[in-house]
Structures are given as C-alpha cells and as structure tokens.
Amino acid sequence: MDRRTFIENTAAGISSGVLLSALGGCGTSAAAAKQPNIVVIMLDDAGWKDFGYHGSEIKTPAIDRFAREGVELNNFYAYPTCSPTRASLMCGRPPSRVGVTSAVSAQHEETMIPKDTVTIAELLRRNGYSTGMSGKWHLGNTLELSPDNYGFDHAHGFLGPWVDFYTHRSQQEKVTWHRNGEYIEQEGHATDLIADEAISFITEHRDKDKPFFLYVPFNAPHLPLQEEQSWIDMYDGAIESESRRYYAAAVTHADHGIGRIISTLEKEGLDKDTLVIFFSDNGGEGPGVKNYLKPVPTYKTTTATEKYGDSGPLRGGKYSFYEGGIRVAAAMYWPGTLEPGITEQPMIVYDILPTVAKLAGIDVPEDMNLEGMNVWPSVSEDEAVGERFFYWYIGNKSAIRKGEWKLIHTGRSFDTGKSELFNIAEDPYEKTECSKTHPDKFKELLDEIKYQHTLDMNVANSGH
C-alpha cells in the first residue's frame, strides 16, 4: 500500500488495530506480561540546545538521565507552537485534522478538539487505566473544555495559554487554575505545584488496582519568567544575559520537579513498570518578545540582544517550520526494559498514541483515524521502519517531510508566497535551498502539501 492510499483509507475509517499490527509489534516481555504505566512529561518552549546532554550551559540532571539511561529520540518532531502539539498528542493525528491550526488565545472559549474525541487518555481509561494530568492544558479555556472532560480521571493545573507563576492568573487576570472541574486557589510556584500534584497522583489519587497514565505538561520555561532567587543565583557569572539566566533557572527548576517525579516512581517500586516519555512542545523562544521578570510587576520590551531559548545548531525556533522550531529534544526511559541508546529514526508527536496503545495491548477503534504509527521497534531495537511522512499546517504556513526531503510553504495560498525545499539528511541545518536543483522533487512535495490541505478541509467539512 502506498502512503497516499494509506492516508485516504485512514480518513475513510480503516481499522487502526489492523494498522498497528501491520506496522510492527516488537514489544518486550515486560510489556507483554502486563500493561505498563505511562508517564508523558513535556516542557514548554525549551529549545534543542537547552539541555545538558545537548551541550547546554543549563543544568538538567534529571532529563540528562533520560538520555543517558534511556533511548534518545534524535529525530523527534512536534509542532512549532503550543496547542497544535498538545492536540496532536491527544488525538494521534496532525492537529489540523481536528481543526487546531494555531495556539489557543487567552480569550478563546470555544471547543478546540471535538467534545466526542477519544483522546489518548480516554482510550487508556476505557481499557483499564487510571488517568491523571497536572499542568498546562491549552486546548480550551473554560471548565467545560477542561481535561477532565477528555478522558482524565484526575486533572489539575491551568487551562492556558499561560499564567503568572505565583498568582496563577492569566494575562487578563482570569482564574484558570483548576482541579477536577472546579477553579481553585493554591499558594506556591506553578512548577512546584505541578510536580506536587503529579506526585500525589502517583501516591494517592490514582486507582492502585489499575495501571496508570500520567500527563505532566510543565509551563516552564514559557514566559513569564518568574523564578525564586535560589534558582537564578546558580547562573550568576555563568550567563551574561539576564533573560537567559531567568530562562535557565526555569528549565532547571522544572528539571528538579521531573527528578522528584522519577524519585517517587522509584520509592513506590514503580520505575521498572513505567515508560517515561519526555519532549518539548516546540522550539525555543527567540529574542524580540516581551518578558516578565519577577519581582518587576510590569512588562518590559526586550531588545534583539536578549536571549531566551536556544535551538542551535538547528535553524529557527518557536513559530518556525525550520528544524529549530519543530525538531525537539526527546527521550524514552524505562529501567530494565529499554537499553541505553540513540535512535535516528524520524518520529513525530502523533506517533505516541499508537505506540502506547500497542504496548498496552489495546485495539484502537477505527473511527479514531490515527495517522501516527507504532515506533516501539525503533525505540527498543533501533529497527528501521521505512520512509516516514510528516505533515504540518499552522496559520499561513505548511510543511511536509517525506523521507530525507522537506518542503516549507509560507503564504495565504499555495499559488502565492514562498516555498523552500531542503534535503534534511544531507543538510540538517537547512543552509541550502534545493528547489532549483531538484525541480521534480519540489513539485512532488508541493503537490503533496496541497493534497494534505484538501484532506484537512474534508475533515473539517465532515465535522470530524
């Protein structure tokens, strides 16, 4: 079956259970013996080079451990901004298939993903899992659209897109901090509270007769950068830029929370029964944005010399379809099951749902129309799975990667704007644009982007 036929059949409702079997099922004895616990940890706006294991000056011992003792996913893709990545994780599809083509604004109070969507949490819950979340949702800004309405037994955090780390209010002073369908007030730094609740889910809130799924999307190091002095002091003299020091402090603070979660798994005797998946939601935030530095209670406009995230040596950053905007740091960690290593196999965030379903022995309903694939053979045995195809559509930008080739189009229509072709295998830093030297490949991929956009429109018109 060629890839286009695959996509068409998927849209028409081909059985995802059959697809998962066809795409490989190299599991492990541990996975076969019982359903594993799954913990998904996400950072917000952390760039490729914002982690110690990628050569950063930022201290990230817990995340470095994932890369050192687990499997580093060296070609893992997300979306260039917050909400689309989160929707893709939830649905196992490009987010444009469910109508998410931008980050949700603070004023947005409409449904982002359809209310009848079977998310990764709902699928696991229907198949015997206790499900929990603590952190940033960013897929709807009312209690009716909160995560407890999308498959989570226990949900805590804020609705999005960002909050003051201390007051937990939005930019418009709106209350979005919640627990299980009710707005709440809590004292403390958001990073600590998110980690605390994740730990409480593991030790208290979950049904201990069931395996569990825990989703922990930290809002650090997303702006506003508000950190206690102890986290900032460790970078005095090491980082010149004030904004970069606050950013580094936010990353290290979140890493500390991640370390606490892993320590809890170990203390509870759960670490060898738990797959931990870590990644950032998009590339690092660049210069020229507004910063909010504690204790200064007002915004200040930064200059081009200010620095936040670092996506180097990749080109671009957050909001960009260059590699620095969508290729993110990622790893899978499962002590006793996964041997340390690195896989170069390209993967994308919408692969997580089918991979987790396969490990849990779940047959995915055909009407979920998954477009991700089970990548466990690549993670567990570094097995090649053939040419991959990825599709991105956000705002007036589209991109696809097919095998080693990637095309980016920017413009309100496909007949206008700018299109760029790159060979990612030979030119991972996207220094050489290839449309003139490879016109046939350029036309092939541009036609493919147009076709994928048509599929988006067909899905939107069908209400799914």
Nearest to 180 by CA among 133, 125, 124, 119: 133
Task: Tell if the pTM clears 0.85, that is, is over it.
Answer: yes
Residue 21 has pLDDT above 50, yes or no: no
Q: How far apart are CA 97 and CA 387, in angstroms?
A: 22
In tens, the pLDDT along 269-292 reads 999 999 999 999 999 987 755 555
State residue 226 phi and psi, 5-degree precision. Answer: -130, 105
SS (H, E, C) the chain: CCHHHHHHHHHHCCCHHHHHHHCCCCCCHHHHHCCCEEEEEEECCCCCCCCHHHCCCCCCHHHHHHHHHCEEECCEECCCCHHHHHHHHHHCCCHHHHCCCCCCCCCCCCCCCCCCCCCHHHHHHHCCCEEEEEEECCCCCCHHHCHHHCCCCEEEEECCCCCCCCCCECCCCCECEEECCEECCCCCCHHHHHHHHHHHHHHHHCCCCCCEEEEEECCCCCCCCCCCHHHHHCCCCCCCCHHHHHHHHHHHHHHHHHHHHHHHHHHCCCHHHEEEEEEECCCCCCCCCEECCCCCCCCEECCCCCCCCCCCCCCCCCCCCCHHHHECCEEEECCCCCCCEEECCCEEHHHHHHHHHHHCCCCCCHHHCCCCCCCHHHHHHCCCCCCCEEEEEECCEEEEEECCEEEEEECCCCCCCEEEEEECCCCCCCCCCCCCCCHHHHHHHHHHHHHHHHHHHHHHHHCC
Average per-residue pLDDT for the chain? 88
Residue 304 has which token pair? 């081009």
Residue 63 has pLDDT above 60, yes or no: yes
Choice among 108-112, 337-341, 459-463 with the minimum mean pLDDT: 459-463
Residue 250 has pLDDT above 50, yes or no: yes
Would you state the pLDDT for residue 116? 87
Share of the chain above pLDDT 70, in %: 86
In tens, the pLDDT along 189-233 reads 999 999 999 999 999 999 999 999 999 999 999 988 889 999 999
User: In 10 A of CB 449, how many CB atoms?
Assistant: 20
The CATH architecture of the domain made up of 3-387 is 3-Layer(aba) Sandwich (3.40)
User: What would the mean pLDDT of 87-101 be, rounded to a whole number?
Assistant: 94
Asked if residue 152 lies in contact with residue 131, where contact means CB atoms within 8 angstroms, the answer is yes
In tens, the pLDDT along 332-356 reads 999 999 999 999 999 999 999 999 9
- Higher model confidence: residue 9 or residue 360? 360
Would you state the pLDDT for residue 243? 87
Would you state the pLDDT for residue 299? 32
Choice among 87-91, 106-110, 401-405 with the minimum mean pLDDT: 106-110
Residue 25 has pLDDT above 50, yes or no: no
Q: Which CATH number fits domain 396-462: 2.60.40.10, 3.30.1120.10, 3.40.50.620, 3.20.20.70?
A: 3.30.1120.10
Choice among 147-151, 166-170, 230-234, 268-272 with the minimum mean pLDDT: 166-170
Would you state the pLDDT for residue 2? 40
Instruction: Indicate the pairing of strand 212-217 with strand 130-136.
Output: parallel
| Alpha carbon distances (Å) from 196 to 157, 186, 192 | 11, 12, 6
Would you state the pLDDT for residue 15? 33
User: What would the mean pLDDT of 114-128 be, rounded to a whole number?
Assistant: 95
In tens, the pLDDT along 360-373 reads 999 999 999 999 99
Residue range(s) of every CATH 3.40.720.10 domain in the chain: 3-387
Confidence of residue 242 (pLDDT cuts 50, 70, 90): confident
| Alpha carbon distances (Å) from 220 to 45, 235, 277, 295, 308 | 8, 17, 17, 17, 12
